[in-house]
């Protein structure tokens, strides 16, 4: 049975990395992140086994220990598992923490867009994000990508960090499962994709092609823009643009919802689902 370490005081220096996690989310963690919830912890343990991410510590409510023992058993012996009662846990994290399952993770692999693209299979589906700054949307995009068989998510330099706690939680751990890169200009990422045989589909409410009529090739990339401004005009002018049809009267779908619909159509046409 996995040994646990009881924490009696919120000020215990051993759990300093878990303290005031909302404020720490805002200042950044230099490739470290907080994984929240049983499902995300399970995915993190799997990612740890494949050396993409490392688990550095776990913090649990005492009443959650038995429910995650199978996950804890998969972690290396050197990973400390701290346990606290509700009042102490709340004092540590800075708010009422009902989930009671937290882990401190660290990104081990950090490849750029070119390296991720070079590692894709001959038949591949990629998602490219341009200026997505909302963490809920980033999480939803990764969840859709994982569910619908995308091989990678490529984020430009203006996108928010998918390892932010809320994005990671909304993705139900998919950020830890789908290969991704973050950085560089969207135009440069798309040029690399095009040079390696990818057909580019730019998703826009004003897209020229109904997504149901789109004909993806063996290598296809779906490009997503931020809500409101959408994709830059130069991207829409250079590549095929696709749209998700909708009833009149609304400007556009939420980008997370639109991504799920578009990826479903593309993945179906490619025979991936």
Dump the DSSP string for 210-258. EGGG----SEEEEEEEBTTTBS-HHHHHHSEEEE----TT-S---HHHH
pLDDT at 27: 46
Residue 35 neighbours by CB under 8 Å, 6+ apart: 41, 43, 44, 102, 103, 104, 105, 165, 168, 173, 176
pLDDT at 25: 61
pLDDT at 229: 82
For range 62-80, the mean pLDDT: 94
The answer, yes or no, to whether residue 51 has pLDDT greater than 50, is yes
At the topology level, CATH places domain 113-269 in: Alpha/beta knot (3.40.1280)
Cα 110 to Cα 270: distance, rounded to the nearest angstrom: 29
For range 223-229, the mean pLDDT: 88
Cα 131 to Cα 24: distance, rounded to the nearest angstrom: 23
Average pLDDT over the chain, rounded to an integer: 93
Cα 146 to Cα 179: distance, rounded to the nearest angstrom: 10
pLDDT at 127: 98
pLDDT at 83: 98
pLDDT at 28: 57
Q: How many CB atoms lie within 10 A of CB 119?
A: 12
For range 94-100, the mean pLDDT: 88
Lowest mean pLDDT among 123-132, 146-155, 163-172: 163-172
Q: Is the model more confident about 250 or about 273? A: 273
The answer, yes or no, to whether residue 79 has pLDDT greater than 50, is yes
What number does CATH give the domain 5-107?
A: 3.30.1330.30
The full set of domain ranges for the chain reads 5-107, 113-269
The answer, yes or no, to whether residue 1 has pLDDT greater than 80, is no
The answer, yes or no, to whether residue 129 has pLDDT greater than 80, is yes
pLDDT at 23: 61
């Amino acid at each position: 049975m996995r040994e646990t370490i009881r924490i009696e005081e919120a000020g215990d220096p051993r759990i300093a990395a878990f303290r005031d996690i909302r404020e720490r989310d805002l200042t950044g963690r230099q490739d470290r992140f907080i994984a929240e919830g049983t499902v995300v912890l399970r995915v993190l343990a799997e990612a740890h086994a494949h050396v993409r991410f490392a688990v550095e510590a776990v913090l649990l409510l005492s009443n959650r220990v038995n429910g995650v023992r199978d996950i804890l058993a998969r972690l290396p012996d050197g990973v400390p598992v701290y346990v606290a009662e509700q009042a102490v846990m709340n004092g540590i994290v800075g708010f009422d923490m009902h989930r009671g399952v937290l882990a401190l993770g660290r990104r081990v692999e950090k490849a750029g867009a070119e390296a991720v693209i070079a590692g894709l299979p001959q038949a591949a589906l990629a998602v490219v994000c341009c200026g997505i700054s909302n963490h809920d949307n980033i999480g939803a995009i990764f969840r859709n990508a994982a569910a619908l068989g995308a091989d990678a998510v490529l984020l430009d330099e203006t996108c928010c960090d998918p390892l932010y706690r809320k994005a990671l939680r909304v993705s139900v751990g998919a950020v830890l499962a789908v290969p991704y890169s973050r950085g560089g200009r969207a135009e440069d990422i798309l040029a690399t994709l095009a040079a390696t045989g990818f057909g580019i589909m730019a998703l826009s409410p004003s897209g020229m092609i109904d997504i149901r009529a789109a004909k993806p090739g063996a290598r296809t990339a779906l490009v997503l823009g931020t809500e409101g401004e959408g994709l830059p005009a130069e991207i829409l002018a250079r590549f095929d643009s696709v749209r998700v049809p909708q009833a009149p009267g609304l400007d556009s779908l939420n980008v997370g919802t639109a991504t799920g619909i578009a990826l479903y159509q593309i993945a179906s046409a490619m025979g991936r689902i």
